[in-house]
Chain A
Amino acid sequence: MQVDIKTTSVTQLRNTFSNVARRLGGDKPASRYQEATFDLQSTANFHYRPLWQPELALYDVLRTQIEMKDWYAFRDPRQYYYGTYTIARARQQDVMEKNIDFVEKRGLLRDLPEVERTALVFTLVPLRHLEWGANLNNCYITAFGYGAAITQATMFHAMDRLGLAQYLSRIGLLLDGNSGDSLAQGKTLWLEHAAWQDLRRLVERLMVTKDWFELYVAQNLVLDGLLHPLIFTHYERRVSAEHGPALSLLTEFMTNWFNESARWVDATIKTAAVESPANETLLCGWIANYRKACNEALASYASAVFGQDTDTVLAQIDAVFETRVAKLGLKTAQKAV
């Protein structure tokens, strides 16, 4: 018997969906991210207006003052769609589980002196409530935002925040030997301790912010941009200098996550700012307002954590934030402060 091996070529008729092809300016092969993002949200044929807000459609661009010609301009530089996002986070989760195991087996947190454990509970455990607020805020943005390009990313971001809250709870459980006492203490601190109240007030104010893009700026750019470096850079560095890198193992995800999502947040703000001077003015105003509000809200918490170094630390994180905002190309942001 003779076997002939032949190659047969089947050329596909179309490389991608028509809606994606229109955006790419021709029928070219598109990435999964593009196909899983562009024009995903329904735009037409809504039969009824929502009963709870009859002046607007179910999906409506008017829920923010920001105006965009194309809402799909908000590309995620990380190109996260469901597949890539879950794969990336699953990998990070594996690393974190190993780190947590490592710390637990050796009792690295449990065996710290009582004073230090109390300090860690005070600084980190109430933050889980703040992260939950961030989760809620990003859910709000997802629900009322416009265009799948931004709302899918904010949904992922919302899930990330739940993850951060859980990792913070795990730190609490490592400190109290899995009894859960630290979580109860954390809640009491969050609700009652004077040093936490300004931050709690700010988070609760964000929860009732109506304009979803304003909320995006306030939560994801300003509050996170000031609070995360304060804790996961400055505080972590301080703890590891005194007690070794046990905490750093447990906050590795937070640090990597912050740098990663900052890329996306910055890209989103930049995109909105270059769209029009009106957008830029709005953004600058929001950034200036919330920067002031966040710095004020951080003051009493920071002084409870950093003592006499508070002013230096706060000045440093604000300077880093200043540089970050300057890179976004917002001309008036600096002036407004």
Chain B
Amino acid sequence: MNDATQNTVFIAFQTNDDTRPIIEAIGNDNPNAQINRYPAMVKIDAPGRLVVRRASIEELIGREYDLRELHVNLISLSGNIDESDDEFVLHWNKN
């Protein structure tokens, strides 16, 4: 595997009304992320680090959001997870 693939983290959601604002928020917060749309799935790849911010999602959906709601529509992800009330971060721990 080359360095680029090793570095890449991703998160994949089902394509539906609930995930559209989440994907939009991720797109806004991670300028380097690449959003790939597949049938019924949206997979977001990012080099090194990907952050999902609660505040950005809340702004788009107009209500309070608990980041654990992500899991309802989550298909898969890769990377080490760093989770707090405000942020859900994917990255690779380098040892």
Where the two chains meet, the residues of A that have a C-beta atom closer than 8 Å to any C-beta of B are 7-10, 29, 31-33, 76-79, 84, 88
**Pairwise interchain contact A8-B39, C-beta atoms closer than 8 A:** yes
| Cα(A33)–Cα(B63), bound, Å | 13
**Pairwise interchain contact B17-A78, C-beta atoms closer than 8 A:** no
**Pairwise interchain contact B39-A7, C-beta atoms closer than 8 A:** yes
Complex: chain B residue closest to A75, CB-CB: B62
**Pairwise interchain contact B17-A32, C-beta atoms closer than 8 A:** yes
0/1 string, B35-55, CB within 8 A of A gives 1? 000110000000000000000
Complex: chain A residue closest to B61, CB-CB: A79
> A residues within 8 A CB of B39?
7-10
0/1 string, B5-38, CB within 8 A of A gives 1? 0000000000001001100000000000000001
**Pairwise interchain contact B20-A78, C-beta atoms closer than 8 A:** no
User: What's the least CB distance linking B70 to chain A, in Å?
Assistant: 18
Asked if A77 meets B62 with Cβ closer than 8 Å, knowing A7-B39, A9-B39, the reply is yes
> A residues within 8 A CB of B20?
29, 31
> B residues within 8 A CB of A88?
63
* Contact of B62 (CB < 8 Å), options: A7, A9, A29, A76: A76
| Cα(A7)–Cα(B62), bound, Å | 35
| Cα(A53)–Cα(B63), bound, Å | 40
* Contact of A78 (CB < 8 Å), options: B21, B38, B62: B62
Q: List 9 A-B contacts (CB under 8 A).
A: A7-B39, A8-B39, A29-B20, A31-B17, A31-B20, A31-B21, A32-B17, A78-B63, A79-B61
User: What's the least CB distance linking B18 to chain A, in Å?
Assistant: 11
0/1 string, B54-65, CB within 8 A of A gives 1? 000000011100
> B residues within 8 A CB of A79?
61-63
**Shortest beta-carbon contacts, A-B, top 10:** A79-B62, A9-B39, A78-B62, A77-B62, A7-B39, A29-B20, A32-B17, A78-B63, A79-B61, A31-B21
| Cα(A29)–Cα(B63), bound, Å | 20
> B residues within 8 A CB of A10?
39
Scan residues 45-95 of chain B and give those whose CB is less than 8 A from a CB of chain A.
61-63
> B residues within 8 A CB of A76?
62
User: What's the least CB distance linking A38 to chain B, in Å?
Assistant: 16
| Cα(A309)–Cα(B62), bound, Å | 38
